[in-house]
């Protein structure tokens, strides 16, 4: 997305003020993860509605607006934006993962797992997607046999891909603890402490 923003800024400065400059300003707000959510929602909405923007750009804007809705605890709007984004560009692995988190928050674990699986299919080396799927398995674990083992397997693979991921160690430790395996849980919690002191 930074490449898109850079491209818009270069075009806007070359052409002066006008629609491109406004669009570049909207991108600078829309890409924020921690900002005024109302402004993010508005800026991303303008980009998504601008038919001059490429479908992928509009999809990214919808994804980002969905994230802002999700942070506002408005899962229905978040899911609607993720669905609209995926209609424009079904190759956005992170959008599937974002929708999976929204479904997880609604207790729709099967739908959440389907989306997490799709995200991993599109981006097989994404440690964040593996950790996210593990979180869904843990959330569903009270209802389905084997989910804690599946979660531990996902966290283990996420750690293999990113050995510095303290969150994956912490989540795996929690999964081990839920299984009653205090030794493995303690080992993972110790890794969290070690990584936190580096």
Tell me which residues of the chain have a pLDDT lower than 70: 1-23, 142-145, 198
Q: Helix 93-105 to helix 127-140 angle, to the nearest 10 degrees?
A: 20
Q: Taking Cα atoms as reference points, which of 141, 137, 130 lies closest to residue 167?
A: 130
CATH number of 108-198: 1.25.40.10
Burial of residue 109 (CB within 10 Å: 0-12, 13-18, 19+) is buried
Residue 42: predicted pLDDT: 96
Residue 6: predicted pLDDT: 34
Superfamily of domain 1-90: Tetratricopeptide repeat domain (1.25.40.10)
Radius of gyration of the chain (CA): 19
Q: Which residue has the tokens 């707000």?
A: 29
Q: Do 1-90 and 108-198 come out as alike in CATH topology?
A: yes
Residue 22: predicted pLDDT: 52
Q: pLDDT digit string (tens) for 20-53?
A: 445 689 999 999 988 899 999 999 999 999 998 8
Burial of residue 18 (CB within 10 Å: 0-12, 13-18, 19+) is exposed
Q: Where are the domains of the chain?
A: 1-90, 108-198
């Amino acid at each position: 997305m930074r490449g898109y923003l850079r491209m818009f800024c270069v075009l806007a400065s070359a052409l002066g003020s006008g629609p491109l400059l406004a669009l570049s300003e909207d991108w600078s707000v829309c890409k924020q993860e921690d900002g005024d959510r109302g402004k993010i929602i508005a800026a991303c909405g303008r980009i998504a509605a601008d038919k001059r923007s490429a479908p992928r750009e509009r999809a990214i804007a919808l994804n980002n607006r969905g994230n802002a809705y999700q942070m506002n605890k408005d899962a229905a709007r978040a899911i609607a934006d993720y669905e609209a984004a995926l209609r424009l560009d079904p190759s956005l692995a992170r959008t599937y993962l974002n929708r999976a988190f929204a479904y997880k928050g609604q207790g729709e674990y099967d739908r959440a797992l389907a989306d997490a699986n799709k995200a991993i299919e599109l981006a097989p080396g994404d440690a964040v997607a593996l950790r996210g799927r593990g979180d869904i398995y843990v959330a569903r674990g009270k209802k389905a046999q084997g989910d804690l083992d599946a979660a531990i397997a996902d966290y283990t693979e996420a750690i293999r891909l990113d050995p510095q991921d303290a969150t994956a160690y912490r989540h795996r430790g929690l999964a081990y603890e839920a299984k009653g395996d205090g030794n493995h849980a303690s080992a993972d919690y110790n890794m969290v402490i070690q990584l936190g002191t580096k």
